[in-house]
């Protein structure tokens, strides 16, 4: 293989629950600190211990962050998946394995180089006890890798010291294990390999963060005080991160009392019910969940829409339908989030493409939910939520003031002639709101049953319809308030590439590659629903648009048709939905296939 610096991908195959996550984290961070753009994709099973797990790392000097399925180096440490792992190595690539045991001849490929490191043997000799031997074996491979791909040893040493600052014994064993792997590789192989790292200066303004942590930070900074949830993969870490940030930032310095409440509900129905109750009483409240949770929450989503109660719902999408593959990613909830619950509904949705947007849009979601008095979805996914992404450092504008919407104070109510809860006072479809416990004149009866603009129960056809029509106008008004699409025009291009969320990374890379082949594309990434004029204008301005998304049924295309009435002839669907994050080649082959058909 010819030399390739800072542009390769490798994959580490281990068994779940053996401590490989620490080693993988270490490797990612070390590369990042060398100033080289890096992304990691954790391909893990729905299991606590024993099933196969993989970690994919892509190093790319151009900053492309999409998943690539082409691996130059495989670190195959799980005998149960050897055959599959050997098959995935790119021709001319490398396979590192634990040579404590001989490798079956059937696993030998003539077109790849085998690198045997006796990890188990070395660790058995150096460490005592089964658990420590297994854990250290999984650190030792990081050491071997460091030598093979030329990771900076000083950076690794510094990272290890930071990580185990509080535990001297762990620091010692980790340092020892890393040295074992490193020294063995240096002594036995020509290090570094032709695919290797060299220091760059491309990460100094960036961080490595997952979207769930970032969304939780957004909720903290936006002032959310009530979080209700039911544990579910892949959304669990949103609330775990929220809790740890709140413990850090939200306790009274003297009394240690909490300025937040986290309610672990009995199910997702209750979780959203709690959010609705808390928002009704005036708090900023949210619930993180995944598709199965949204299915259960449909009832309360409809209530919150019709009774006009704010609610922030973070949907970290996973594959469906039903339980699906809980640890794989998809964009399968686009339709459900947009129209959840029975009857006529339509909901504000925000679509982040990476953790930085997850942070910004999470905060934004509270403003929109309160301004429009309606459920608001942060539609993330497992890839954004649980994988480490390299993104610019998060930033917060200290002049931010929460938009609490039209909430009347005791003074407002005292002065007001009348308070009519569902009356369109300002002509924007957004009524005035009062909170319980504030003023007798603010009292009204919140209900999911038919009501008129004064807030009273009704079964009168005209009164009912008047409120329903105003709700439609209200949500339509949100088109200008949601994050606007990112649009990039290419001179002379007549074709459009349109996508949503995390597919952005694959689309950006694909566009560059297609451009080299002479296929010029205009680009749009939608970031908020309902869609506005800009989205429609973009679609109409191109001869044909390719709608790139991660679900079987072309849900984004359907949403665009339903919401904007853009003709289906204008929109060719490009989809990948098998559970991995989308790669550039999915986009390229999809676009080319359609172009050939058209031609």
Partner 1 sequence: MTYIAKPKVHHPSLKANAIGLTRRDYEGAITTLCAGCGHDSITAAIIQAFWELSIPPHKVAKLSGIGCSSKTPAYFLREAHGFNSVHGRMPAVATGANAANGELIMIGVSGDGDSLSIGLGQLCHAIRRNVNMLYVLENNGVYGLTKGQFSASADVGSTAKKGEANAMQPIDGVLMALTLGATFVARSFSGDKEQLVPIIQAALAHRGFAFVDVISPCVTFNDHEGSTKSYAYTREHHVEVVQADFVPPREEITTEYGSGAVQNVMMHDGSWVKFRKVAEDYDPTNRDAAYTHIREHQNKGEVVTGLLYISPDSKDVHDQNETVAAPLFNLPHEQLCPGNDALQKLMGQFR
Cβ within 8 Å of residue 415, ≥6 positions away = none
Backbone angles phi, psi at 536, to 5 degrees: -65, -45
> 202 or 511, CB closer to partner 1?
202
x/- contact string, 539-568, with partner 1 (CB under 8 A)?
Answer: ------------------------------
* Listed ranges 3-11, 66-74, 137-145, 255-263: which one lies at the site for partner 1 (CB under 8 A): 255-263
Say whether 490 sits in a helix, a strand or coil. coil
- How far is the C-alpha of 12 from the C-alpha of 43, rounded, in Å? 10
Binding status of residue 265 toward partner 1 by CB under 8 A: yes
Residue from 109, 250, 406, 592 in contact with partner 1 (CB under 8 A): 250
DSSP at 451: B
Q: For residues 328 and 295, is the Cβ–Cβ distance under 8 A?
A: no
In the bound complex, what is the minimum distance in angstroms from residue 543's beta carbon to partner 1? 43
- How far is the C-alpha of 541 from the C-alpha of 199, rounded, in Å? 44
Binding status of residue 36 toward partner 1 by CB under 8 A: no
Binding status of residue 402 toward partner 1 by CB under 8 A: yes
Cβ within 8 Å of residue 305, ≥6 positions away = 341, 345, 347, 374, 375, 471
Binding status of residue 422 toward partner 1 by CB under 8 A: no
Q: For residues 237 and 379, is the Cβ–Cβ distance under 8 A?
A: no
Binding status of residue 473 toward partner 1 by CB under 8 A: no
Residue from 105, 190, 201, 252 in contact with partner 1 (CB under 8 A): 252
Residue from 255, 491, 516, 569 in contact with partner 1 (CB under 8 A): 255
- How far is the C-alpha of 149 from the C-alpha of 166, rounded, in Å? 29
* Listed ranges 107-115, 329-337, 446-454, 494-502: which one lies at the site for partner 1 (CB under 8 A): 446-454
* Listed ranges 127-135, 276-284, 490-498, 535-543: which one lies at the site for partner 1 (CB under 8 A): 276-284
> 6 or 279, CB closer to partner 1?
279
Q: For residues 315 and 375, is the Cβ–Cβ distance under 8 A?
A: no
Closest CA to 387 of 215, 211, 231: 211
> 120 or 285, CB closer to partner 1?
285
Which parts of 301-340 interact with partner 1 (CB under 8 A)?
Answer: 303
Binding status of residue 415 toward partner 1 by CB under 8 A: no
Biggest CA-to-CA distance, the chain: 88
Binding status of residue 33 toward partner 1 by CB under 8 A: yes
Binding status of residue 277 toward partner 1 by CB under 8 A: yes
- Lookup: tokens for 6: 């800072």
Binding status of residue 278 toward partner 1 by CB under 8 A: yes
User: Is the torsion defined by CA of 267, 269, 271, 277 positive or negative?
Assistant: negative
Residue from 194, 231, 448, 579 in contact with partner 1 (CB under 8 A): 448
DSSP at 276: H
* Listed ranges 50-58, 132-140, 148-156, 297-305: which one lies at the site for partner 1 (CB under 8 A): 297-305
Residue from 339, 420, 423, 444 in contact with partner 1 (CB under 8 A): 444
- Lookup: tokens for 408: 């009347």
Pairing, β 206-209 against β 89-98: unpaired
> 267 or 540, CB closer to partner 1?
267
> 447 or 567, CB closer to partner 1?
447
- How far is the C-alpha of 301 from the C-alpha of 337, rounded, in Å? 10
Binding status of residue 217 toward partner 1 by CB under 8 A: yes
- How far is the C-alpha of 502 from the C-alpha of 384, rounded, in Å? 6
Backbone angles phi, psi at 303, to 5 degrees: -60, -50
In the bound complex, what is the minimum distance in angstroms from residue 368's beta carbon to partner 1? 17
Buried b (16+ CB within 10 A) or exposed e, 32-50: bbbbbbbbbbbbbbeeeee
Which parts of 361-400 interact with partner 1 (CB under 8 A)?
Answer: 393-398, 400
Peptide bond into 321 cis (omega under 30): yes
> 53 or 434, CB closer to partner 1?
434
Closest CA to 497 of 519, 477, 468: 519
- How far is the C-alpha of 277 from the C-alpha of 265, rounded, in Å? 13
Which CA distances in Å does 29 have to 22, 206, 394, 474? Answer: 11, 12, 18, 46
* Listed ranges 27-35, 68-76, 233-241, 506-514: which one lies at the site for partner 1 (CB under 8 A): 27-35
> 12 or 34, CB closer to partner 1?
34
Cβ within 8 Å of residue 70, ≥6 positions away = 9, 90
Identify each DSSP E strand in 224-325 by its residue range: 226-229, 261-264, 285-289, 311-317
Binding status of residue 457 toward partner 1 by CB under 8 A: yes
In the bound complex, what is the minimum distance in angstroms from residue 478's beta carbon to partner 1? 23
In the bound complex, what is the minimum distance in angstroms from residue 281's beta carbon to partner 1? 4
Site for partner 1 (CB under 8 A): how many residues?
Answer: 77
Residue from 170, 456, 513, 544 in contact with partner 1 (CB under 8 A): 456
Residue from 16, 46, 153, 446 in contact with partner 1 (CB under 8 A): 446
In the bound complex, what is the minimum distance in angstroms from residue 148's beta carbon to partner 1? 24
In the bound complex, what is the minimum distance in angstroms from residue 243's beta carbon to partner 1? 11
Count of alpha carbons within 13 angstroms of residue 86, beta-carbon side = 19
In the bound complex, what is the minimum distance in angstroms from residue 19's beta carbon to partner 1? 21
Cβ within 8 Å of residue 323, ≥6 positions away = 292
Binding status of residue 416 toward partner 1 by CB under 8 A: no
Binding status of residue 209 toward partner 1 by CB under 8 A: yes
> 453 or 570, CB closer to partner 1?
453
- How far is the C-alpha of 275 from the C-alpha of 288, rounded, in Å? 11
Which parts of 220-249 interact with partner 1 (CB under 8 A)?
Answer: 220-226, 228, 245, 249
Cβ within 8 Å of residue 87, ≥6 positions away = none
> 155 or 526, CB closer to partner 1?
155
In the bound complex, what is the minimum distance in angstroms from residue 277's beta carbon to partner 1? 3
Binding status of residue 261 toward partner 1 by CB under 8 A: yes
Binding status of residue 108 toward partner 1 by CB under 8 A: no
* Listed ranges 169-177, 442-450, 470-478, 491-499: which one lies at the site for partner 1 (CB under 8 A): 442-450
């Amino acid at each position: 293989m010819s030399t390739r610096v800072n542009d390769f991908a490798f994959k580490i195959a281990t068994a779940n629950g053996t401590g490989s996550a620490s080693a993988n984290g270490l490797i990612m961070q070390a590369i990042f600190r060398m100033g080289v753009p890096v992304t990691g994709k954790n391909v893990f099973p729905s299991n606590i211990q024993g099933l196969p797990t993989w970690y994919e790392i892509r190093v790319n000097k151009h900053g492309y962050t999409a998943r690539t399925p082409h691996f130059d180096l495989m670190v195959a440490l799980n005998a149960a998946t050897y055959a599959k792992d050997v098959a995935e190595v790119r021709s001319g690539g490398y396979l590192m394995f634990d040579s404590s045991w001989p490798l079956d001849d059937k696993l030998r490929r003539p077109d790849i180089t085998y690198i045997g490191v006796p990890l188990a043997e070395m660790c058995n000799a150096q460490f005592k006890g089964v658990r420590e031997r297994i854990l250290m074996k999984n650190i030792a491979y990081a050491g071997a890798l460091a030598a093979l791909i030329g990771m900076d040893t000083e950076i690794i040493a510094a990272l290890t010291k930071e990580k185990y600052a509080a535990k001297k014994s762990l620091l010692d064993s980790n340092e020892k294990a890393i040295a074992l792997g490193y020294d063995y590789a240096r002594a036995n192989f020509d290090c570094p390999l032709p695919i290797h790292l060299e220091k760059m200066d491309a990460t100094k303004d960036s961080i490595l963060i997952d979207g769930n942590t970032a969304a939780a930070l957004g909720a903290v900074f936006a002032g959310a005080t009530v979080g209700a949830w039911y544990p579910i993969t892949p959304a669990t870490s949103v609330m775990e991160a929220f809790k740890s940030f709140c413990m850090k930032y939200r306790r009274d310095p003297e009394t240690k009392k909490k300025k937040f409440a986290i309610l672990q509900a009995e199910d997702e129905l209750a979780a959203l019910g709690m959010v609705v109750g808390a928002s009704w009483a005036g708090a900023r409240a949210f619930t993180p969940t995944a598709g199965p949770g949204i299915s259960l929450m449909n009832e309360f989503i409809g209530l919150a829409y019709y009774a006009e109660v704010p609610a922030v719902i973070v949907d970290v999408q996973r594959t469906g339908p039903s339980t699906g593959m809980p640890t794989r990613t998809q964009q399968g909830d686009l339709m459900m989030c947009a129209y959840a619950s029975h009857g006529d509904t339509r909901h504000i949705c925000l679509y982040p493409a990476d953790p930085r947007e997850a942070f910004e849009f999470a905060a934004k979601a509270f403003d929109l939910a309160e301004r429009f008095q309606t459920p608001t979805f942060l539609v993330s996914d497992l890839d954004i939520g649980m994988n480490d992404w390299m993104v610019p450092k998060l930033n917060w504008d200290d002049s931010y003031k929460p938009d609490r919407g039209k909430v009347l104070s005791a003074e407002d109510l005292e002065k007001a002639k009348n308070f009519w809860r569902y009356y369109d006072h300002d002509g924007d479809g957004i009524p005035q709101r009062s909170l319980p416990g504030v003023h007798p004149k603010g009292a009204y009866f919140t209900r999911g049953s038919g009501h008129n603009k004064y807030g009273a129960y009704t079964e009168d056809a005209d009164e009912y319809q008047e409120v329903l029509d105003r709700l439609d106008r209200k949500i339509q008004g949100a088109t200008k308030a949601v994050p606007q699409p990112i649009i990039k025009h290419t001179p002379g291009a007549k074709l459009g590439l349109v996508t949503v969320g995390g597919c952005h990374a694959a689309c950006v890379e694909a566009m560059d590659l297609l451009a080299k082949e002479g296929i010029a594309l205009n680009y749009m990434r939608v970031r908020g629903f309902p869609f506005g004029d800009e989205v429609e204008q973009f679609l109409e301005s191109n001869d044909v648009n390719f709608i790139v998304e991660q679900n079987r049924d072309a849900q984004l295309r359907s949403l665009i048709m339903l919401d904007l009435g853009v003709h289906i002839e204008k929109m060719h669907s490009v989809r990948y939905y098998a559970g991995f994050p989308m790669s550039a080649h999915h986009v390229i082959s999809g676009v080319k296939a359609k172009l050939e058909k058209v031609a």
